[in-house]
Amino acid sequence: MTSGISSSVQADAAAISTQRVAARGRIEIDHRAGRSRLARLYQDGAAKIRLPETGADPLEAVLINMAGGLTGGDRLGWEVSVGASARAVITTQACEKVYRALTDRAEVEVRLSVGAGGYLGWLPQETITYDRSAFSRRLDADLAVGAEALIVEATVFGRSAMGERVESGTFRDRWRVRSAGRLIHAEDFSVGPEIEATLGRKASSGGRIAMATLLLVSERSEHLLEPARQIVGDDGGASFWSVGPTGKLLARLYAGDGYTLRKRLMPLVALLNGQAGLPRLWSL
């Protein structure tokens, strides 16, 4: 009996491994004739990119994972290049879901670059993980002198409104951000395999299962620190540092569920994203 069960699991894993997502999308934006315009677009596999007609700067692009989510063995890559003086806001059509992994882990690679005087708002909607999922994300950003960027990533470990709990799994998130070739921000977040127990500790998130990190690299970030702290409140924090000729504002939010998180995340993104405000697809 044990042998039969083991054979069945192995057969399922082998079948799944032949159907895994391997997708990449790339978009390049430059500044021509007085506005930001699409210069090049590449999409492969389940990675799709759409450009809503906004009629104004910044150019807005929507990333779509046509597979409907990620699971063990999936590989998804996004690359965004914003040229000198161009402005762009990148978001996703919906929250990315990371499902239970029978084998391996889902991996997402993000590469961002911004030319001199350019601006990029990297504003994907939340990543929602499920019990026994395995996920790893790597984000690398390179900013030229005078470039600005707002980078946001939010994660919800199970939808409590749906009765979901994430007891076990693995989650890895690695960021490296450089300005004028200098490393100005590096962080590695890792939790698992006992996710629920780890997040339940006071030294961790105190049982709060929804969290977000926002990094604004800009000369104007210092002036936004106090308004940001008012939005963040007691469940999180915000700080500012001068880094060479620019500055960085780092904010973190925590909440007991995704809805409560988004109620503060949305006004904070709107504040930090300047005149561009919130992407049109974001809603409560």
Query: pLDDT of 242-277, one tens digit each?
Result: 998 899 999 999 999 999 999 999 999 999 999 888
What's the one-letter identity of residue 94? A
What's the one-letter identity of residue 47? A
- Alpha-carbon distance values, 169 to 50, 61, 188, 209 (Å): 32, 31, 17, 14
pTM of the model: 0.91
Hey, is 272 helix, strand or coil? helix
* Residue located via tokens 């569920």: 257
Angle at 189 between CA 183 and CA 191, to 5 degrees: 165
What's the one-letter identity of residue 89? V
Which pLDDT does position 204 carry in this prediction?
85
Which pLDDT does position 3 carry in this prediction?
47
- Which stretches of the chain score pLDDT less than 50? 1-5, 9, 11, 13-16
Hey, is 222 helix, strand or coil? helix
By the 8 A CB rule, do 264 and 258 touch? no
Hey, is 253 helix, strand or coil? strand
Closest of 58, 44, 212, 189 to residue 124, by C-alpha: 212
Which pLDDT does position 19 carry in this prediction?
62
Q: Which residues pair with 61 in a beta bridge?
A: 90
Which pLDDT does position 21 carry in this prediction?
84
Q: Which residues pair with 29 in a beta bridge?
A: 38, 82
What's the CA gap between 132 and 189, in Å, rounded? 18
* Residue located via tokens 């910044």: 58
Which pLDDT does position 8 carry in this prediction?
53
What's the CA gap between 27 and 32, in Å, rounded? 16
- Quickly count: other Cβ atoms within 10 Å of residue 145's Cβ: 13
Which pLDDT does position 252 carry in this prediction?
97
Which pLDDT does position 2 carry in this prediction?
43
Which pLDDT does position 10 carry in this prediction?
52
